[in-house]
């Protein structure tokens, strides 16, 4: 097992590209550094996506998330960068990245960034009784 962080995201073929289904990934131990103070920022990163032809491989995703540990990044920038990198690797039909950052100075920050593939139409939500 690798013990080195990496920015390379690996993928694998989606076994069911004909079906819209959601993959949910939750990472409760995300850390980066405040670019102003150098102090650690802690967050939960949630990813929800509907894959097209590729899915992200989770070990590479873990090493990718680890790569932020020593980087200075504003909450808004890091959430959008994670989205950009995952979209570049997987080209999903839809992806949402939510950064839920722990309190700092009495302020909580949640950042939500989304991507929709051109031409993709969201299926209707089924309401069950």
- In 3D space, the residue among 122, 47, 125, 112 whose CA is nearest the CA of residue 86 turns out to be 47
Domain boundaries, the chain: 11-116
Summarize pLDDT for 73-105 with one digit per residue, the tens: 999 999 999 999 999 999 999 999 999 999 988
Query: In this structure, are residues 94 and 115 in contact, taking their beta carbons and an 8 Å threshold?
Result: yes
Q: What is the pLDDT of residue 104?
A: 83
| Residues with catalytic function | 34, 41
CATH 3.30.1130.10: does it fit domain 11-116?
yes
Query: In this structure, are residues 85 and 77 in contact, taking their beta carbons and an 8 Å threshold?
Result: no
Q: What is the pLDDT of residue 95?
A: 98
Summarize pLDDT for 1-36 with one digit per residue, the tens: 567 899 999 999 999 999 999 999 999 999 999 999
Summarize pLDDT for 63-75 with one digit per residue, the tens: 999 999 999 999 9
Q: What is the pLDDT of residue 2?
A: 65
Q: Can you give the pTM of this predicted structure?
A: 0.93
CA dist list (Å): 34 to 14, 23, 75, 80, 99: 36, 30, 9, 16, 14
Q: What is the pLDDT of residue 105?
A: 81
């Amino acid at each position: 097992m690798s013990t080195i962080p990496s920015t390379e995201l690996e993928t694998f073929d989606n076994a069911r590209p004909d079906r819209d289904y959601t993959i949910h990934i939750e990472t409760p131990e995300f850390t980066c550094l405040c670019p102003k103070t150098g102090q650690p920022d802690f967050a939960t990163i949630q990813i929800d996506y509907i894959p097209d032809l590729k899915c992200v491989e989770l070990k590479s995703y873990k090493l990718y998330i680890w790569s932020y540990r020593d980087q200075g990044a504003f909450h808004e920038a890091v959430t959008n960068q994670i989205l950009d990198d995952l979209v570049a690797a997987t080209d999903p039909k839809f992806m949402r990245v939510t950064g839920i950052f722990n309190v700092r100075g009495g302020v909580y920050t949640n950042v939500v960034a989304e991507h929709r593939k051109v031409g993709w139409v969201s299926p209707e939500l089924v309401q069950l009784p």
